[in-house]
Amino acid sequence: MTVLADDEPEGATPLTPEAREGLIPAGVTLRRELNEYEQANITEARLWAIDRKRNPVDVPFCKNLHKRMFDDVWRWAGAYRGYDTNIGCNHPQIEQQLYQIVGNTLWWIEHKTFQPDEIAVRYHHGLVLIHPFPNGNGRWSRLMGDVLARYLDRPVFSWGGSLLVGDDEVRDAYLAALKKADGDDFPDLLAFARS
């Protein structure tokens, strides 16, 4: 495997050699090919998850969704990272931190602390900040936000529209909004998610 490391967009987590060993499809040498495999896997998972009637604010569901999004492509799908990364908590604390954001989000839903969109965006942000997995945290946590939005009777988010096709300006706006959210300032991320 000689791909992946050099062409990650800004804010993406470089794959460790350990993580790269988990690639399942044989003969993948280009990032474009990998993207296609991942995208097909994610599309299936999205269909399964999006209008599910059960509450997605749940730690086993967090793991299960990541697994379903990436299990045709990565052996570590649905398994927490076992090392520290520059975004994300110390790895031994991942599960505890997930329980914390899940608990907070359940509280916000029950007490209507924020509008439904804001609850879903805060859930997305809390999850991606933990960065539980070796890769795919952005796509997984955005889908988690979408599933929660649907559960709260809201439409799925647009996340800047072209974010997924690698528009640099859109991605920069997303990362800037995430950084504000890291400081508990959510209006930009909320606006971005609906843009």
- Looking at the DSSP bridge assignments, the partners of residue 23 are 74
What's the rounded Cα separation, in Å, for the pair 24 and 11?
Answer: 25
End-to-end alpha-carbon separation of the chain, Å? Answer: 37
Contact window for Mg ion (CB under 5 A) among 35-43, 73-81, 135-143, 181-189 = 135-143
Among 50, 79, 156, 175, binds ligand ATP (CB under 6 A): 175
Contact window for ligand ATP (CB under 6 A) among 7-15, 45-53, 92-100, 153-161 = 7-15
Q: In the window 52-91, what residues touch Mg ion (CB under 5 A)?
A: none
What's the rounded Cα separation, in Å, for the pair 192 and 106?
Answer: 23
H helix and E strand count, the chain: 8, 0
Please identify, using beta-carbon distances, which residue of 105 and 137 lies nearer to Mg ion: 137
* Minimum distance of ligand ATP from residue 19's CB (angstroms): 10
Q: Is 87 in the site for ligand ATP (CB under 6 A)?
A: yes
Give just the sign of the alpha carbon dihedral 116, 121, 124, 129: negative
- Here the tokens at position 70 are 């990436």
Q: Is 41 in the site for ligand ATP (CB under 6 A)?
A: no
Q: Is 12 in the site for Mg ion (CB under 5 A)?
A: yes
- Here the tokens at position 60 are 């086993």
Contact window for ligand ATP (CB under 6 A) among 29-37, 45-53, 133-141, 147-155 = 133-141
Q: Is 141 in the site for Mg ion (CB under 5 A)?
A: no
Place of tokens 């954001």: 101
Interface ranges with ligand ATP (CB under 6 A): 9, 11-13, 87, 128-129, 135-139, 175, 178-179, 182
